[in-house]
Amino acid sequence: MMGVVPGVVHPHGERLAGPLFAVIGIVVLAVCTIWAAGDHVGAVTLVVAGLSAAWLLLLVPLFPRRAQHPWLAVGFFAGLLAGVAALTTLDTTYTAFASIGYPIAFVLFAARWSIFAVTATAVVPLLAKGIWGADTPTPAWVFVVSVVGPMLYAAWFVGAENDKRRRANAALAEANARLETALEENAGLQAQLLTQAREAGVHDERQRMAREIHDTLAQGLTGIVTQLQAADRASSAESRQRHLTQVHTLAKDSLTEARRAVQALRPEPLTDSRLPEALAELARRVTDTSGVAVTAETSGEPVPLLPELEVTLYRVAQEALANAEKHARASRIAVSLTYTGDVVLLDVRDDGAGFDPASPACGDGTGFGLQAMRQRVRRVAGMFVLESAPGEGTAVNVQLPAIPADR
């Protein structure tokens, strides 16, 4: 309803404003009383003047709380006007004291309500004097104070409001300038981010193609070369034909995987089979092509996972088996897939020659096969652990979040 006029009293002067206006009012009241004393002021007048002075002191605790308690401000102002009316009726000298109501009205109420308070300040003393007051002349200085005082305060008030408005406009212009600068910088940053995102997308696509080629064409061609070398060394036509049949199968599978890699599709074994069955088929195929005994086991309750998770697990198993077949000279390889509810675990262990993971060629991930596995697992927020030692075989452990495919 009613509240403080923003900007009329500076926040840092909030504590002093109440005492200041109270002191000014009491000083004006004292001057009027001293002037009226020459006309033998009666006891009633002194009592009313004392009560009015005491009432003005209530402005000290009220002023900081005027916005939170507007009705207390209304009550205070009504009491002040009552004192002004009574004193003006008793002696016209106190007309000068009535002028204190103008500045108090402006600072005590919001602008739209202060108009009513100012009007009451002007009307109430005139009515009181006209109805109950004695017909005595008003001193000239009282007339000057009553007219000039409010005019000076009104001029100061308008000047303060104009200064506040100019400061607000200057601050707004400065804020607009800062905003325009920020928008220009933001546009530049956005363009830079778009360029970086485009470059990152190109880099990721190149990495994906490199991994897919390594996991499909490179491994397929390696298998073909191995089978051709075995066919050349075959001691019988039946053995030679068996190796050539494997070459035909590997070439066909490699061609299919190459096409799917270009189209960014899932590996063919995962298209028509679930992950456990695809790993079992992969183990069987490696056994057939390499002669290494490969077993694949699944524990827990298998659930269809997000395609990217299943592709990651399949490709890591594929790479680990290829490494064990080509480099480890293993006689046995075990593939284990475990579903534990929140996570899915993949372990590929062999009894091959092993190696030192801290060696420059392996420990820093410069070997493309190990690097590809790490990158795949990292992209799906998984954990990749490689354990190996010379003569003790190798173990690849992968842990991924088991996010169902239908989520």
Dihedral sign for Cα 238, 239, 243, 244, please: negative
- Which is nearest to 348 in space by CA: 306, 305, 292, 401? 292
DSSP string for 206-239? HHHHHHHHIIIIIHHHHHHHHHHHHHHT-SSHHH
| Residue found under tokens 């075989």 | 393
Query: What average pLDDT does range 53-70 have in this prediction?
Result: 81
Specify the pLDDT at position 349.
93
Q: Quick one: tokens of 389?
A: 């030692």
User: What pairing do the DSSP bridges indicate for beta strands 332-339 and 293-299?
Assistant: parallel
Q: How far apart are CA 234 and CA 242, in angstroms?
A: 10
Q: What is the pLDDT of residues 112-170, one digit of tens each?
A: 777 777 777 777 777 776 666 555 555 545 555 555 556 555 555 566 667 777 888 88
Residue 38 DSSP symbol? G
Determine phi and psi for 401, rounding to 5 degrees. Answer: -65, 130
Q: How far apart are CA 270 and CA 407, in angstroms?
A: 19
CB burial class (10 A; 0-12, 13-18, 19+) of residue 125? buried
Residue partners of 267: CB distance under 8 A and separation at least 6: 257, 260, 278, 311, 314, 315, 318
Q: Quick one: tokens of 109?
A: 């109420």
The confidence band for 379, taking pLDDT boundaries of 50, 70 and 90, is confident
Let me know: does 100 contact 108? Beta carbons within 8 Å. Answer: no
Q: What is the pLDDT of residues 245-294, one digit of tens each?
A: 877 777 777 666 665 555 445 566 677 678 999 999 989 988 888 788 99
The confidence band for 363, taking pLDDT boundaries of 50, 70 and 90, is very low
CB burial class (10 A; 0-12, 13-18, 19+) of residue 202? exposed
Specify the pLDDT at position 11.
43
Higher pLDDT: 129 or 352? It is 352
Query: What average pLDDT does range 40-53 have in this prediction?
Result: 80
pLDDT at 234 over 50: yes
